Chains A and B, each alone.
Chain A
Amino acid sequence: MMMVNADLRRERAAATFQPELLTHILDGGAERTRRRKEIEALVINDPDFQHEDLNFLSRSQRYEQAIRKSSLMVMKLREYGIADPEEIYWFKSFVHRGRPEPLDLHLGMFLPTLLTQATPEQQDRFFMPAWNLEIIGTYAQTEMGHGTHLRGLETTATYDPATQEFILNSPTVTSIKWWPGGLGKTSNHAIVLAQLYTQGQCKGLHAFIVPIRQLGTHEPLPGITVGDIGPKFGYDEMDNGYLKMDNFRIPRENMLMKYAQVEPDGTYVKPLSDKLTYGTMVFIRSLIVGDSARSLSRACTIAIRYSAVRHQSELKPGEPEPQILDYQTQQYKLFPLLATAYAFHFVGAYIKDTYRRISGDINEGDLSELPELHALTAGLKAFTSWTANAGIEECRMACGGHGYSRCSGIPDIYVTFTPSCTYEGENTVMMLQTARFLVKSYTQVSSGQQVTGMVSYLNDLSRQRIQPQHVAARTVTVRINDPVSLVEAYKARAARLVEAAAKNLQTELNHRKSKEDAWNRTSVDLVRASEAHCHYVIVKLFTAKLSEISNAAVRAVMTDLCLLYALYGISKNAGDFLQAGILTDAQITQVNQRVKELLAIIRPNAVALVDSFDFHDVHLGSVLGRYDGNVYENMFEWAKKSPLNKTEVHESFHKHLKPMQAKL
């Protein structure tokens, strides 16, 4: 066992708070932390889950490892009796070290969809076999030609009353199902989203259970063309697949019919409400917000620990090389991201709690809060995933050349995380959904109605109507050291940008005939308004969290981080605050100065603040971010295992180099 690097020891000794206490807050209580670590130990100490460093394996080998671990995982989960969804999530995340795996869609989409959309008869038929993995399913929605815009999907399911079957077809190249995880090689069934045609009419998108591979041989069924879509940026262990169907017939009973139905004669029975589908989307997007927080936290952990260990150049003539974490430019790169990671943790927890509370209400029939939550999570999903995506890259860049090596672990975090800007709703489209809600709320306020919830600041607009100036240009007196006052500043900025976008939209409408054209010509403004709204919500939630922290030392350091988050955001978006008259030039100068002071204040706690995220080395998967900080020795050990080093003299020497030297 190697000693912990002296720099890191010193850093940890100098912290002003106990990292475990903060870990408990992130986990939702000391008991949750204990249980998480217990599950972590079950996985990490299990020899069955050990394997070679994935960086050295080919895609095929990585897929194979993932499948091997997934099979074991399912068995062990049952052996250990782990059934709580969050505990399953932990277990899975430790087994696969935060990476995707081929059964993700089976466990995360196929089974839940059966539970929510299958009739009891269908559940009898499919659920237990799927539960026991005789059926492995995926969820085939995205096509080559269409993703987020679901109505554009082209796959057809035509009902044939003569045989009481649906005939599935992929009528164009663009209609080929493309991207679903686990579809290429793993699954033998898929829930396929297709345009339903019955009695000559299109009834829109519906879900069908489609067998795609022969049970037993695993060969594709006649009429099914299925395969892997090839190499990607990341997701090496996932067999994202394509699926093409040619007059493929399935029995009528394979349409998921808990809500909409097709009767034997072809009569279509409409579902009661579509609001319920909002629920699933809110849930999945809330997971992405949490994922943004975790991915950014991992990258921060690596970059900050490495910056405490790496010494470079000189700050003071004649003195030893300083830790690069002592350079202001390095702090300025990393600490705002650290603050952001914490902010996103609290936002993720908030959405999850709110969703849980509202789903309780849903069962009692009260859906009134759902539209707002749906609109808010769309924007927050986009805001947090964009920010985390850029933040992970900044962390990698902050590690210089070594960040570029796969051994840093950050390239992997990035390529695994970056598709979340696209999946479950492309981010720009998400921002525009939030904008639609904001504009609607603004219109309500303009017509004299009150709005509630996170948009209630728009109500203030009606009181400002007499003033010709921008809404926010008046009353806010911002105290830059008071988070509560900064929340007001963000609120004023959001109000100003929502109003500006709504007014520009109105102007366009006055000039043009089509609503859609006007919307399109205002969409850059609308996205800005949504961003400002989301930013306000995040600052507000972070600030609100502070009062819930009972330990004074932890609260103090979190207050610094919260201030940094809020002030850095103002500094980066100074134009908005200046233009709206919320802050003066002099105040912006103060804000910029205060940001730099906060960097120095946070500096002594930086390592402790990433330790609090409590990532196990195995889970972190980074040589630069190791808890013990012994970076260089382990980089060398790691490199020696590289495939290019398998033989002392590479075969290219004999094949190419030697003959060339002889020839020239």
Chain B
Amino acid sequence: MALLETGKYSQGSVLGSVNPDLASERQTASFSVEKLTAWLDGGAEHTRMRRAVVEAIERDPVFSRENQYFQSQNERYEAAVRKAVHLQEKMHEMGWTENGPEFKYIYRAVSGDIAFLLHRIFMRSISVLGSDKQIAKWMPLATQYQLIGSYAQTELGHGTYLQGLETTAVFDITTQEFILNTPKISAMKWWPGDMGRSATHTVVFAQLYVHGKCYGVHPFIVQIRSLQDHSLCPGITAGDIGPKMNFEHIDNGYLMLQNVRVPRENMLNKFCEVQPDGTYVRWGSQKINYFTMTTVRISLISDEVVIPLMKACTIAIRYSAVRRQSKLKPGEQEAKILDYQTQQEKLLPQLAAAYAFHLTNNYLQELFKKGYSEIQKNNFDRLPELHALSSGFKATITQYCTAAVEICLRACGGHGYSLLSGLPSLYTKILASCIYEGENTILLLQTARFLIKCFMAASAGQPVPPSVTYLAAAKPGKCPAKNKLDFLSPDIYTEAYQHTAFRLISSTAAKLQDLIQSGVKKHDAWNQCTVQLVQAAKAHCHYITVKNFAETVEKLETRAGIQKIMKHLCDLFALHGIFSNTGVFLHDGYISGAQMDMVTALYLDLLAVIRKDAVPLVDAFDFTDKNLNSALGSYDGQVYQRLYEWAQKSPTNKQMSPAYERYLKPLLHNTLSKL
């Protein structure tokens, strides 16, 4: 379609020439964008490698996501399978390996739009839960894709609460087989990825029965589709669970088992075994296994949560620097919407949060690396703390970032609602992270259980793990800030967060005690305090996040202006948290009303400061246009031109809809006037 007939159109005609409104934002950066990118990547050499991987992937048309927004569920699924298959060849071609340093960048480069992610979980579960013999048998097959695996844990009726699973595996001593069954509809496996259409095998979690006795949930390798023609095996009913909010490319599936027999050797038996005579033996510690599940929660934070928020911020902030609306001053040009205080108040705290949680993720990774080496030395002391932190942070970060992405979406007004903005799909994808790998409320309650326990221990003078030592050393008192600028001191605000977390934990512990002493049963007392417990767990994670951010900034070199801007972001993140939770900080008078007015004023001042660097701060995330896949967020800021050109590609404009001939024509041609 000829778009550019008139002179005024030509200005925006060349996509790629940078919109002056964005160019001017970049000229005034107070720091080196390239250096900040390298810092985020953990060093310039990592940046180079990441870019090389991204470039290799994006150059290859098979990985293109150009038409993604126009594709049906079927087309998305097929494309994802094709990409997964092609990736094997690509890795071979590039010399990348599963254990190589490039591997982690591939997922980012394909934006997760690829099949067989559960195949990897299948392999991981065999390597963690399987005996050496089982590993030797199954891993080569899986690595060579002679089979495609999935991981069937969740059922229609049960998710996070694993003990409640209802699938059964009954040992038949005469044939030395397990007989797997789905005894009722709620026991049907539901949600596992790659299982609806692709998988040939899956790890099924089922209640083990031997001689009529139940031994709890155990994992079994079950073949579900023929390796020859991919048809379903006898006794298997499986299929796709239907459309979801996102993950159209993944065939989340259901699975029903009717007297499906697997050999005794198919129960993953690193930790326990059913012997030929039916004797159940358990050996070794399952704690390491427990640890593996815990690390999964941490491993998703970067790719599934922080990166999507960084993308959303990039799109919303670049768009806000290009979109002009209404006048701030009479007679002047319309203002960039990024210059409105209300717009800054929506977006800049989310930008600060993206940086904050990026650093929290680094902190957790480091902690878990140390934890792992301890565990390998058979020291399990830190396990409860790591478990509590992984649960609490998984919940806090997914919840915070999901809300943040939605704020970015809505801050883009009408155009944010178009799929072409990229924001709806970022949102619908990130919000699934609030549910998978443990429902957030339940996870927060696990963290709360740990905190209450530590608080009781600390009160009794017993030692507590490092991250909660503050529970032992509470200093009652008031916030010492005397004027507004005092709140720029990390000590002042970190103390405030610590005080609040302490207050919420201790008061909930006291309430629990009171209830129990007044004769309420323990579990009832717990349920009556759960709203407070959740709040306490969140406050703890918020405190650690602020503390970690402040400590990281402290350690930064002052060069290239990076420390300065990071300090601003840290202040903003901390003060925004106080500003948005005034009640909690004012409650016992730790922060006074007058101090709260200072916080508010300072917070609003900071918005204007960070505003100046907003575009460079998202540029530093270093997403390519193809990776963002957004008509609003591209580096060149040619928003309207791109939106118009992309809309032309919509099938609704290319294909003739039968609606006109069938319905509109009779309607327009006067069938009604006869009425």
Contacts and interface: CB of A to CB of B under 8 A. Distances in A.
Do A and B actually bind?
yes
A460 interface: no
Contacts of A575: 581-586, 596
A237 to B, nearest CB: 11
B164 A233 contact: no
A652 B436 contact: no
Nearest to B658: A64
* Size bracket, chain B contacts: 35 or more
Contact of A74 (B77, B420, B672): B672
28 contacts: A59-B651, A60-B657, A67-B659, A71-B663, A133-B667, A133-B672, A152-B325, A172-B9, A179-B414, A227-B648, A231-B650, A233-B418, A312-B158, A317-B523, A328-B529, A330-B441, A400-B159, A422-B417, A514-B329, A521-B604, A523-B341, A574-B584, A575-B596, A636-B156, A641-B242, A644-B196, A653-B197, A653-B230
A643 B8 contact: no
Contact of B668 (A56, A133, A397, A419): A133
A26 interface: no
A657 B229 CA distance: 11
A578 B418 contact: no
Contacts, number: 375
Contacts of B154: 401
B56 interface: no
A149 B326 contact: yes
Interface in A603-630: none
Given A172-B8, A656-B85, A185 B596 contact: no
A426 B593 CA distance: 32
Chain A to chain B: the 8 pairs with minimum beta-carbon distance, closest first: A575-B582, A574-B583, A644-B240, A230-B650, A642-B242, A228-B652, A575-B583, A233-B424
Interface string B345-373: 11000000000000000000000000000
B668 A652 contact: no
Given A146-B325, A419-B414, A657-B85, A312 B156 contact: no
B290 interface: no
Nearest to A240: B418
Contacts of A643: 72-74
B432 A644 contact: no
B425 to A, nearest CB: 9
B646 interface: yes
Interface string B176-199: 000000000110101100001110
A423 B242 contact: no
A419 B417 contact: yes
A422 B413 CA distance: 6
B520 interface: no
B334 A152 contact: yes
Interface in A165-187: 171-174, 176, 178-179, 184-186
Contact of B72 (A58, A422, A659): A58
Contacts of B88: 660, 664
B198 A657 contact: yes
Nearest to B251: A644
A579 B531 contact: no
Contacts of B325: 146-149, 152
A55 interface: yes
Given A176-B644, A397-B434, A642-B240, 13 more contacts: A60-B655, A134-B669, A147-B413, A327-B527, A328-B529, A329-B445, A397-B435, A401-B436, A406-B243, A574-B584, A578-B586, A642-B242, A664-B88
Interface string A78-95: 110000000000000000
Contacts of A638: 242
Given A218-B668, A523-B340, A329 B531 contact: yes
A59 B652 CA distance: 8
Contacts of B164: 312-313, 321
A645 B596 contact: no
Interface stretch (B25-33, B143-151, B488-496, B548-556): B143-151
Nearest to B2: A225
Contacts of A406: 242-245
B417 A407 contact: no
Contact of B593 (A78, A185, A523, A578): A578
A583 to B, nearest CB: 10
Interface string B551-594: 00000000000000000000000000000011111111100010
Contacts of A56: 242-243
Contacts of A411: 244-245, 428
A91 to B, nearest CB: 16
A136 B164 CA distance: 57
Contact of A652 (B6, B77, B663, B667): B77
Contacts of B191: 401
A642 B414 contact: no
A239 B243 contact: no
Contact of B673 (A134, A144, A179): A134
Nearest to A321: B164
Contacts of A421: 410
A329 B596 contact: no
B239 A639 contact: yes
Given A67-B663, A233-B424, A524-B345, A633 B243 contact: no
Contacts of B239: 639-640, 642, 644-645
- Kindly name the residue among A149, A403, A650, A652 whose own CB sees the greatest number of chain B CB atoms within 10 A: A652
Contacts of A404: 244-245, 431-432, 435
Contacts of B527: 315, 326-328
A97 B439 CA distance: 31
B330 A588 contact: no
Contacts of A423: 414
B462 interface: no
Contacts of B243: 55-56, 405-406, 642
A406 B69 CA distance: 18
Given A64-B658, A397-B435, A632-B185, A422 B410 contact: yes
Interface of B: 1, 3, 5-6, 8-9, 12, 69-70, 72-74, 77-78, 81-82, 85, 88, 144-146, 148, 154, 156-161, 164, 185-186, 188, 190-191, 196-198, 229-232, 239-245, 251, 254, 323-330, 334, 339-343, 345-346, 406, 410, 413-420, 424, 428, 431-432, 434-436, 439-442, 445, 521, 523-524, 527-532, 534, 581-589, 593, 596, 604, 640-641, 643-644, 646-653, 655, 657-660, 662-673, 675
B665 A218 contact: yes
Contacts of B70: 230-231
Contacts of B655: 60
Contacts of B658: 64
B583 A573 contact: yes
Contacts of B417: 232-234, 418-419, 422
A263 interface: no
A142 B414 CA distance: 10
Given A134-B668, A401-B436, A639 B240 contact: yes
B424 A68 contact: no
A229 B418 contact: yes
Contacts of A571: 583
A89 B164 CA distance: 46
A231 B419 contact: yes
Contacts of B231: 648-649
Contacts of B424: 232-233, 415
A553 interface: no
B155 to A, nearest CB: 9
A493 to B, nearest CB: 12
B230 A649 contact: yes
A661 B145 contact: yes
A516 B328 contact: yes
B535 to A, nearest CB: 10
B647 A585 contact: no
B484 to A, nearest CB: 14
Nearest to B197: A650
Contacts of B81: 652, 656-657
Given A64-B659, A639-B242, A644-B196, A230 B328 contact: no
